[in-house]
Chain A
């Protein structure tokens, strides 16, 4: 099974700053089947990025996904107050079962 390791566990920043979140896979994701979700307290996860770098419908362009192979990042260029949440990376392809990282908590 593919294990996803996210870092840091918690990131403390202020509105207007840039956030960079990392996700490393234990095996190469050959077709970049890597997604990012945002989850706020008491809410369902919201799809942000799929295919490592493609924004889902309605996602602002301050969210950027990059990476390939085993190393992926999610960058939020200028943090808005509503961006403070937990972010999960998620692999969804190949022969392995779906899996998630443990999440990065983005705190003010």
Chain B
């Protein structure tokens, strides 16, 4: 069974750097074809994709956040997201997800998600 869990600070101050960890089980990021990504969701608003890291350490970022976000493979079952220069509009729930190529098109799709971590940006 694949599970993911996000952890990190619930409160950060404006201009600080956010560091979130995704801890997962049921798969390894060493397995060929696997990826882990991050999304976020401001309160009451839609989902937004942030970043993705593949088993081979290839990475993709949202163009709108590319200068502020970094994704890193940790140990065999951790992925870390950092986002610098946090501000109030970055408040929301941050999710990590297990990605695999879906069988029809082969494009990567978030199949299993963690429960999310609420991050509030406030002084």
Q: Name A's B-contacting residues (CB within 8 A).
A: 1, 31-33, 35, 37, 43-47, 50-51, 54, 56, 88, 90, 92-94, 97-103
Contact = CB atoms under 8 A, between A and B. Distances in A.
A31 B46 contact: no
Contacts of B114: 44
Nearest to B99: A92
B115 interface: yes
A33 to B, nearest CB: 5
Given A32-B105, A97-B63, A47 B47 contact: no
B104 A100 contact: no
Contacts, number: 65
Contacts of B116: 44
Interface string B100-123: 001111011111111110000000
B105 A88 contact: no
B62 interface: yes
Given A32-B104, A97-B63, A47 B109 contact: yes
A43 B111 contact: no
Interface of B: 45-49, 60, 62-63, 95, 102-105, 107-116
Main secondary structure of the interface of B (DSSP, over half): loop
B62 A33 contact: no
Contact of B95 (A31, A44, A51): A44
Contacts of A103: 46
B36 to A, nearest CB: 14
B102 A50 contact: yes
Best-buried of A44, A45, A90, A103 by chain B (most CB within 10 Å) = A44
A92 B102 CA distance: 10
Nearest to A88: B47
B113 A51 contact: no
A100 B49 CA distance: 8
